[in-house]
Each structure stands twice: as structure tokens, then as C-alpha cells.
Structure 1
Amino acid sequence: MNSFKRYFLELSYKGTPFHGWQIQGNAFTVQECIESALSTYFRKPVTIMGSGRTDTGVHASMQVCHFDMEEEFDKEKFLRAINGILPKEIAVSAIRPVKPDAHARFDAESRSYVYRIIFQKNPFLDEIAWLSYFTPNVEKMNFAAEALLKHEDFECFSKVHTEVTHFRCKIKSAHWEQKDGELLFHITANRFLRGMVRAIVGTLMEIGLGKREPEEMEEIILSKNRAKAGKSAPARGLFLSRIIYPNQIYLD
């Protein structure tokens, strides 16, 4: 029986050049890139499991994945080397030993996303924020966002034909914040459906711009119909920002 040690990698990436997180046969993905770098460093095939998928063009200021390794290795040397192998769009910030049964996806207690909106053209933010030429009513959007905390079935915000057994999510917080000339949407839940956050942002922006009334948010959620919700916000403004795990899974 082979003995192995499991490690969590904490990383960030700019999703612009990638076709999402999950490895695909004919597209360049974040997972493929990391597995290739790990396999180069350890000189043998290495596979990883991420905390969850991000779609094409979506970023992560914090993502977590795990991998197994039998051999001992110097973690500080590993961090320097792996960042040298990875492209400039991906950075590994930490490696932490965890219990052998710890799982990056299934042990996550909560996940958080941030969506960035700017109101002036900015060449430095073009790929990481949604440019809106109209200023929405933030008070109305925050009022509508409160409805998200009262429900658990969010089929209305899910991409259709996804491989899920249910559409239930427990949203712990959801609010808009104005900061340094930007508008930020913060949302935290135990899990998210594919396309969910971008659909929520798009719907709330329609409310903020007066195309819908805040009270419609409740009706949209209860309809369980994606066609009733608003158009999805562009991928470039979305960041996976935080993942929380129970402390007892860590060995350091």
C-alpha cells in the first residue's frame, strides 16, 4: 500500500486567457496549466482537484486545489520553482499539508465571490471589470439582494442543462459596496450553481437601472425559470475571492 501526503495549494489567476478552470480536451484551462507545471516539477504525472469550477474569463483572487505526493520535498523551494514554471496569469501563494481525506471541493464550508463594475473607461481594468456607462441605484439593488437570503432554490439563476441533482444553495450574505469609484457586489454561500453569480448581478443591475422593480426579485426566484431573470453580467468582472475550510483538516 502506497503512503502519500495530501497538500492544499492556494492560488490566484487572471482568467482572461483561459477557457475556465476544468480541464477539457481541446481548450486551454487553468487546471491543465497547473497539472502540467506540477508534473514538470515532480517529473511524473500529477492531477489536482479544485474547490470548484470557474467559467471562461472568470478570475480568482483565491482558489484552492489539492494533490497527493509520496515523496518529501522542500515547500519553500517548491513555491519559488512552481511560480517560475507557471505562466504570469497564475500565482501559487501557499502550500499546506492536510489530512489524507481532506478534499478541496467537498470540505469547503463557504465560497465567496466579488463582482467589479467601473463607470469610466480604464485600460488597466478593462479585462477585470465590467464597464457601465450608467450609474445604478445601489439602494434598490441592496433591497432586492435581501431576497436572496430568504430562499434556497436558485434554479432561476442557473445555466440550463447543468449536471446537478438540485438547485439549493444557502446564501449567507449578498450586498453591494461603493469603493474607490467602483461598485462591488459581494456574495457568500455554501455552494454556487453554474453561471449563478453573473445571472444575479445582471438581474440586480437591471433593477438598479430602473428596468425592473426591486420587488420582482422575489417573483423571479419563485419562478425557478432562467428566462425570467436578467441577462448574465460579463465574465471579466467576476472573481472567486475566498474559500473557508474547517481548521481541523490542516496539519500545519
Structure 2
Amino acid sequence: MRYFLEISYDGTAYHGWQIQNNALTVQEVLNEALSTILRQEVSTIGSGRTDKGVHALNQVVHFDVSAETKIGDLCHKLNSILPSDISANELARVQEEANARFAAVSRSYLYRIHQKKNPFLVNRSYLFHRPLNVEMMNESCEIIKRWMDFESLSKVHTDVNHFNCEIFDARWQEYNGELHFHVSANRFLRGMIRAMVGTMLLLGEGKINLDNFEAILEGRDRTKAGRSVPAHGLYLKDIIYPKDVYL
């Protein structure tokens, strides 16, 4: 039987989602907790990888168990043994072929920026002091919504067949003294959102204009784009699946 499990985590203490040698990851901790409770070896597959320090408001994973396994109140049991920075939120039975990674039709992320020192936002938002033209940054969002090839915002030497992504939504929002960047797409490239935000900050500071921004996208050269902003401001926010994957 296959299940989708929705989890949240603060990524500060972890070297990302995916299991690595000699480094603590969210996937490793979750696999161990599931295996302990269900008394069988359980291996999860996530909707996508998050890098070291990146958080998740909603990460979806799938895992398989034998037909006779008693699931019970699994989220409650998981939360009793998971560390305080990981929570199990919701469990759903899905089709046997449903894949948390490949069945997703949309992924959404949030990037948080604050511009005044705030000790309660350490490791949860990027402190950026300099003034920003948010209106201009939102104009760049209109450009990326009609763009397709994002090679210029991808980490180099990534194992992908193409750099095409369909952006469904992109916008900057001022919220309680913070700046929030919301972006949704059918897929994202490695490092893409943090490079996208870094390039938009150049625009907001007036270091480049909209024509320069578009030229960076056209150039397909990562070295011409802005720097990658810190991981701790980034959150995996939501994953959408077709309704027919659920039972």
C-alpha cells in the first residue's frame, strides 16, 4: 500500500532533504521514525530536494508498507518521536503508482526578506538592509511568467534534460514589515529560486534595469545573473497533485 505524507520542517539543523553520507538530513530522520513505528524498513521519496538550511511548510513524501500493516494514528505517533523541528501533518492513501516527485503538477515556494534587524527571524528570513524598488521587482515577475528557459538561473553541471520551466505565479508582497516572494511552477531547477531572487534584488537596488534582466535570461549564462541568496530565507510552501492520485 502506498501513502502520501505531508510534513513540515525547519531546515536549519539539516544538510537538506535527501540522504547523504556523513551528514544529517530530514529524509534520514523521517525514514528512521517511520521504520521504528511501523516495524519494517521504510524508505520515503520526496516531492523534491531542499538544500541545506532550506525550510518546508509543506513537503510531500510517499512510502510503501505491506498490506497487513496497521497504520493507526500515524501522524500522532510520528510526532511523538520526531525532533521538534520536524512535524508530520497529514496522511493519505494513494494509488499504487502515485509518485510524490513525478505526479506533482505544481510546486510553490516562498522567499522571505526583512530589512530591519530582528532576532526572531534569525535562520528564517534574509536580512537585507538596502532600499528596494518593489514595484520594479514585480515588473520582473511579469517577465518570468512568460519566460520558459531558465538556464541562466540554474546551478551549473546539473543532470537535467532541459532548462524549461512554466511559471504559473510570481509576485513580491509586502507583509508585516517583510518582503515575501511567492513563486509557483511545474518544476524548478537546482538553485533557481535563490538565483532568481538574487537577480531581482539587483533590479530592486537599481544596479540593473528590466532590459538587463531580460538579457540575463536570454543569455543562458549563470555568471551573468545575480548571486544566490542565503538558503534560510527559502521555504517549500505547497505541492499540488491531480485529485485522482488519492483514494
TM-score norm. by structure 2 comes to: 0.97
> Is 1:138 equivalent to 2:134 in the alignment?
yes
* Aligned twin of 1:75: 72
Structure 2 unaligned segments of length 5 or more: list them: none
* Aligned twin of 2:194: 198
> Is 1:100 equivalent to 2:96 in the alignment?
yes
Deviation (angstroms), 1:135: 2.3
Distance, in Å, in 2 between the alignment partners of 1:7 and 1:145 is 36
**Structure 1 residues 139-186: Cα deviation after superposition (integer angstroms, max 9, x where no partner):** 110111211112111010000111111111101111100011110000
Contact 2:38 2:71 in 1 (8 A): no
> Is 1:119 equivalent to 2:118 in the alignment?
no
SS at match of 1:194: coil
Distance, in Å, in 2 between the alignment partners of 1:56 and 1:164 is 21
Distance, in Å, in 2 between the alignment partners of 1:215 and 1:206 is 13
Contact 1:75 1:95 in 2 (8 A): no
Size of the alignment, in residue pairs? 246
* Aligned twin of 1:26: 22
Deviation (angstroms), 1:72: 3.3
Distance, in Å, in 1 between the alignment partners of 2:207 and 2:97 is 49
Aligned match of 1:165 in 161, 165, 169? 161
Deviation (angstroms), 1:75: 3.3
Partner letter of residue 205 of structure 2? L
Aligned match of 1:39 in 20, 35, 40? 35
Distance, in Å, in 2 between the alignment partners of 1:222 and 1:116 is 27
**Structure 1 residues 12-52: Cα deviation after superposition (integer angstroms, max 9, x where no partner):** 00010100111111111111111011111112211010000
Structure 1 unaligned segments of length 5 or more: list them: none
Partner letter of residue 126 of structure 2? W
* Aligned twin of 1:58: 54
Contact 1:144 1:215 in 2 (8 A): no
**Structure 1 residues 171-212: Cα deviation after superposition (integer angstroms, max 9, x where no partner):** 111110001111000000000000000000000011101111
Distance, in Å, in 2 between the alignment partners of 1:111 and 1:137 is 27
Partner letter of residue 168 of structure 2? K
Partner letter of residue 72 of structure 1? T
Alignment map for 1:180-195 (pairs within 5 Å): 180-195=176-191
Distance, in Å, in 1 between the alignment partners of 2:2 and 2:211 is 48
Partner letter of residue 171 of structure 1? I
TM-score norm. by structure 1 comes to: 0.96
Distance, in Å, in 2 between the alignment partners of 1:133 and 1:217 is 22
Distance, in Å, in 1 between the alignment partners of 2:35 and 2:236 is 25
SS at match of 2:173: strand
Aligned match of 1:226 in 199, 222, 227? 222
**Structure 1 residues 89-121: Cα deviation after superposition (integer angstroms, max 9, x where no partner):** 100100100010111001000000000000111
SS at match of 1:152: coil
Contact 1:10 1:93 in 2 (8 A): yes
Partner letter of residue 107 of structure 2? R
